[in-house]
Amino acid sequence: MNLKRKYLSIIIILGLIHNGYSQDSKEVLKLSIAEAKDFAIKNNRSVQSAKIDISIADKKVWETIATGLPQINFATNYQHQFSIPQLSFGSYFDVNSLPDASYLTKSDIEAAYKPSPMVSLGVPNNVTFDATVSQLIFSGEYIVGLQATKVLKQVSEKALVRTEDMTKESVSTTYYLILVLQENVRVLKNSLKYTDQTYEEMIKMNQQGFNEETDVDQMKISRSSIETLIRSSESQEGVAMKLLQYQLGINFDQNVMLTDSLPGIIKQGNMQYLSSPQFNVKNNIDYQIVSNQKDISSLMLKREKSKLLPTISSFYRHEDMTNKPQFNFLVKDVLGVNLSLPIVTSGQRSAKISQAKFDLQKSNLNLDNTEQALIMEYETSKSDYETAYSNFITNEESMQLSKKIYDRTLIKYKEGVTTSFELTQNISQFLTAETKYYYSVLSLLNAKAKLDRILGIN
């Protein structure tokens, strides 16, 4: 018994070690911005749901096609009759019942009339089989319906493209946010390193009587401000990484490393959008979706009009039963044609046609409105990008100047030329300029992501 427990303990320990090793050795997912968007297109749950909608549309098209193909139906029916109707054909003259005599009396003749046996008009138990083959020959509504399902499939396909575009934009903005936060943390940590050095030097100078304790306290406040900014940025980075993992469609325990750099992405955007890219509204996916919806409205009008046409179908039916009665009037095989034609609908059909016409007018207006709105959105987004780029250049220069001023002030302070108050002011000025710079970087990249979506750039 002890030996079994010993082996069981070893197995459990080895299992725990293996699980721990597996978790530690989990590979890091390294992604560039392009790889992140491609990965999301394959794994994002919203995109996968849109792909399922296309599969549903495929089946809907086949469902509509199948209604015009031959249909075979089989039915069986069991019946039990508690009381069977009886039929009598009256009396009949039975020659064999006449007596053998040379002379027949009236009573002999009357006695020769015998009642006929009763005939059952059914059977107590019976099973009936019915097999019917039908084929639609002509239906205007069927033809239009088939066209409509194909357009609906196109709408589903366009909706998938739109979902992919929106997912790419979301992934891009989150990717950019993480890069900005990481770069901000890196710069802040470098600033904190230099601030720590200055703070330590101030403490030593204060101990030797070369400065006041207020100088040390002011530098300590600046140091604490930088630490707070670092913690805040790292916290935001962690939340942004969770959001990116969600958008990529992976678990939160999967480590992700971003391989692109901010300067390269900024340069790429500047090459694309500081020029004047051509915008063809008809290539925009939102315009194409609304255009498909207008096509559907047009087909719905055709569908209502097609209901004025006749519907023609043919059928063949074979019917049989297992227990046939004595008198069986069942027709086993029937071949026929059905024709259905509306004659008088009391204005109902005309009202539906009018409604479909109004829907088509609304669809045309919606398409025109969408076209103008997309052109306006593009012009606004392009203007936003140009403004964001201008702010980016200005804030980049301001950050570099404030850093240069801070470095010079630090040298002057060490030489005893300036005060600690001026030094802490310059530190605060540099941190403010740095915050504005990274905010402008993020605004620039978000404007780029929006233009990418509008222009359909992957």
C-alpha distance from residue 24 to each of 17, 31, 274, 348 (Å): 11, 20, 46, 72
- C-alpha span between 331 and 154 (Å, rounded): 48
Give domain limits for the chain.
25-68+139-307+348-455, 70-85+121-138+310-341, 93-120
Residue 140 contacts by C-beta under 8 Å, 6 or more apart in sequence?
305, 306, 307, 309, 311
Nearest to 134, CA basis, from 62, 66, 72: 72
| Interatomic CA distance for residues 285 and 172, integer angstroms | 19
Token pair of 321 as six digits: 């039963």
Query: Which among 62, 187, 81, 91 is positioned nearest to 125, based on CA atoms?
Result: 81
Lowest mean pLDDT among 7-21, 120-134, 317-331: 7-21
Confidence of residue 26 (pLDDT cuts 50, 70, 90): low
Comparison of pLDDT for 172 and 211, the residue scoring more:
172
Q: What is the pLDDT of residue 360?
A: 94
pLDDT at 424: 84
Tell me what pLDDT residue 380 has.
93
What DSSP character marks residue 47?
Answer: H
Structure tokens at 447: 């404007």
Confidence category of residue 25, pLDDT binned at 50, 70, 90: very low
The span from the first CA to the last CA of the chain, in angstroms, equals: 66
Among the residue ranges 74-88, 281-295, 308-322, the one predicted with the least confidence is 74-88
Residue range 25-68+139-307+348-455, CATH number = 1.20.1600.10
Mean pLDDT, rounded, for 326-351: 84
Which residues does 50 contact at the CB level (< 8 Å), separation at least 6?
A: 156, 159, 160, 163, 164
Q: Among 56-70, 265-279, 429-443, name the one with the lowest average pLDDT.
A: 265-279
Residue 130 DSSP code: E
What pLDDT shows up at residue 102? Answer: 67
Q: Band the pLDDT of 6: cuts 50, 70, 90.
A: very low
Burial of 142-173, coded b for 16+ CB within 10 Å and e otherwise, reads bebbbbbbbbbbbbbbbbbebbbbebbbbbbb
8 Å CB contact between 437 and 398 = yes
Sequential DSSP letters for 67-93 = TTS-EEEEEEEEEE-SS--EE---EEE
Mean pLDDT of the 233-245 span: 94
Q: Give me the amino acid identity at 275.
A: S
Beta bridge partners of 113: 93
The confidence score (pLDDT) of residue 12 equals 41
Residues 31 and 179: their CA atoms lie apart, in Å, by 12
Reported as half-sphere exposure (CB side, CA atoms, 13 A), residue 390 has a value of 6
- Number of other CB atoms surrounding residue 183 within 10 Å: 17
Q: What is the mean pLDDT of residues 185-208?
A: 86
Tell me the pLDDT of the chain averaged across its residues. Answer: 85
- The residue type at 58: D
Average pLDDT score over residue span 245-261? 93
Task: Specify the pLDDT at position 263.
Answer: 82
Judge whether residue 371 has pLDDT over 70: yes
Q: Rounded to 5 degrees, what are φ and ψ at 332?
A: -70, -45
Given a cut of 50, whether residue 425 has pLDDT beyond it is: yes
Query: What pLDDT does residue 88 have?
Result: 73
Find the mean pLDDT for residues 7-34. 57
pLDDT at 101: 67
